[in-house]
Amino acid sequence: MEHTQEFLEVISIETLGGFYITQIKQLQDRIFERFLSEQGLKISGGQGRILFVLWKQSPCTISEISQRTSLAKNTVSIMIDTMVAHGIVRRESNPDNRRQTLITLTDYAVSLQQKYNAVSQRMNVLFYTGFSETEKDQFEAYLQRILTTLRQAEQNQENNEG
C-alpha cells in the first residue's frame, strides 16, 4: 500500500508499524466475527478470546482472564456479564476465598469449542497466506518482542502509579 507524503505528514509518525497493527486488528476483528457468524456462533471476537482462555484453563478469575487476553479488567467484567446473561459462562464463588469470583464454562460454551477452533484455523490460513514458514516464524518473533516491550512498559507505569 503506497502512502502519499501528505498522508504521512498528517499521521506524523516516523514508522508505520503501530498504524499497520491497528489497521490489521480492525480488519481481522471484522473478518473473524463474520466467520464466527457464518458458523452460527453468536459471540464476539473479544468473547472468543475469553473462551479461548477458559478452554485452556477453567475456572479463572477476571484478573487472570484480563492478563491472558490483554483486555482491561473492566472490559473483561462487562463481557463476562454479557456472557453470563447468554448462558456461556457462570460466575461462582471461590470456595477457598469467598472474596474471589471464578469464571467457569457452561456446557454450551464447551460445545462451541470445535466450531471456534475451525474458525480460528480458517483465520490463520488467511492471515499467513503468501508467507513462507521462515517468514511466519520471523514475523511472530518480532511481534513477540513488541508485545514483551509493551507489557514491560505497562508494568512500569503501574509500578510508578502504585
Residue 27 has pLDDT above 70, yes or no: yes
Average pLDDT score over residue span 22-36: 91
pLDDT tens track for 36-72: 999 988 888 889 899 999 999 999 999 999 999 988 9
Residue type present at position 33? E
Mean pLDDT for the chain overall: 88
Q: What pTM did the predictor assign?
A: 0.73
Residue 86 has pLDDT above 80, yes or no: yes
| Contacts made by residues 6-11, CB under 8 angstroms, sequence distance 24+ | none
3-class SS letters over the chain: CCCCHHHHHHHCCCCCHHHHHHHHHHHHHHHHHHHHHHCCCCCCHHHHHHHHHHHHCCCECHHHHHHHHCCCHHHHHHHHHHHHHCCCEEEEEECCEEEEEEEEECHHHHHHHHHHHHHHHHHHHHHCCCCCHHHHHHHHHHHHHHHHHHHHHHHHHHHHHC
Q: What letters, b where the CB count within 10 A reaches 16 and e where it falls short, cover 40-50?
A: ebebbbbbbbb
> Which band of pLDDT confidence, cut at 50, 70 and 90, is reported for residue 11?
low
Q: pLDDT at position 44, please? A: 84
Residue 107 has pLDDT above 60, yes or no: yes
Q: pLDDT at position 15, please? A: 76
- 25, 52, 55, 96 from 93: Cα distances, Å: 35, 21, 19, 9
* Cα–Cα nearest to 33, from 143, 113, 116, 125: 116
Lowest mean pLDDT among 12-16, 28-32, 132-136: 12-16
Average pLDDT score over residue span 114-124: 93
Residues 6+ apart with CB under 8 A from 105: 51, 54, 55, 58, 88, 89, 90
Residue 162 has pLDDT above 70, yes or no: no
Q: pLDDT at position 161, please? A: 82
Q: pLDDT at position 136, please? A: 96
Residue 5 has pLDDT above 70, yes or no: no
